[in-house]
A and B are shown apart, each in its own frame.
Chain A
């Protein structure tokens, strides 16, 4: 029997942010892919896309700090070293995309000489000078990163579902918003 002092779950704030951001990110991916293909719904979708993106950037930074300042729960022991590495890398990729996607969007609008409107008269300053080639490159980058995030999301959801429904190793307990206290010496009933 292995005894560990590591917590059973991520910090409460991390867990709440995980699910809140999951909902926002999936919504954002769908808003983003819909708006570029729509004439009629383009405007209201893009008007929602901008402030939501900045909200995600702020939440991602809070989540990153929380993640670095608190101790992560141990992974179930059945997980192989190779899979542990994959999990670590995928977490790194996800955090990078959470922060990079909104930043690239913001930079792209700056380079495209657009005002970065949030809501009402609230708007953000440009973070890059207006420059056509830069706009074109960042615009493409934004799309590629978004597809990458969507694929990473599918892989992440698929892997967690596989562990939870088939291996039944309780990996999801690390992230559920409620408190899970596994009974001593046995797995879930």
Chain B
């Protein structure tokens, strides 16, 4: 590359442009950079401050529940568990995920109460949740966050936001505006139907005898590439809580669970509901027809329980879209929204100073 061809006099620049041309070109460059910067600001939501973003959703939780640094912004009061999942191999026809091959994988999980108040008292009506992380041998994970209601109350994130706001007690009066709730339900027939469906499944006595439903539809993909719409839920093997805790005790649900696990492992069957072509996958508020095939794919066993104060599971985000190969999201818009909002809650709480959980180490070990 030493040819004389490359020799050049770099001092010989083209004649200086006329001032008008310099100005026009400078303006052009400035405009281009401003447009790029503007698009960046727009993409980041800075130009649309009223849009419902993950941050806005989590802000709403914080506003409705008060500030509780270090805790999850929803399902704030909880306790951590570990155990294992014994797959019976029945899920393999639908999904190639390693977790469905016959055999055992370790799990960690968390029982919690819906709502963003970590120190609220347990009540029979509070929605209960069970989140599970299945750890496949190949390092992939399946995380699922389920609740003890058979369908969700709305079909999209904006409606969920509005439902939350309208059903929360007024901070001044401490009362829920029932007229506003009525107006919301009147405008949302899917919510009216969902509330009826939820009402027809009375809550069990405790965490241990609850069924938990994943609510959203997903897709199972098998070895041949066949994709099937599914929903899943877990059915308890055991009955009500051992021990006698009055429902007026502040932590009666958690104390019942602790006692039950200390007296022996708890088990749930993982049931996959198989959707038929045409079954809606983007309507979490509607159940599929009752005659859909139900496949028992294996059993969850939970044998240890630990306070959030010491368990590493406190710092796991049960993002419902952490999925192994073989399970994919459906077109349900709530899935991406849940993933985004959980992530925002996780980002905030991980950087905050932690306070002790209401379900303390002492309580869990007694």
Contact = CB atoms under 8 A, between A and B. Distances in A.
B291 interface: no
B243 interface: no
B148 to A, nearest CB: 25
Contacts of A30: 39-40, 43
A83 interface: no
Interface in A5-53: 5, 7-8, 29-30, 33-44, 46
Contacts of B141: 115
A154 B339 CA distance: 32
Contacts of A187: 8-9, 12-14
Interface residues of A, number: 63
A3 to B, nearest CB: 5
B36 A40 contact: no
The A contact surface, by secondary structure, is loop
Nearest to B133: A113
A130 B315 contact: yes
Given A7-B6, A132-B315, A168-B14, A34 B43 contact: yes
A37 B14 contact: no
A95 interface: no
B6 A165 contact: no
A129 to B, nearest CB: 10
Contacts of A168: 13-14, 17
A88 interface: no
A33 B343 CA distance: 15
A115 B134 CA distance: 12
Interface of A: 1-5, 7-8, 29-30, 33-44, 46, 74, 76-78, 112-115, 117, 120-121, 123, 125, 130-133, 135-137, 139-140, 150, 154, 157-158, 161-162, 165-169, 181-188
Interface of B: 1-2, 4-14, 17, 22, 25-26, 28-29, 32-33, 36-37, 39-40, 43-45, 51-55, 57, 98, 138-141, 157, 312, 315-317, 319, 321-322, 324-325, 329, 333, 335-337, 339-341, 343-344, 346-347, 350-351
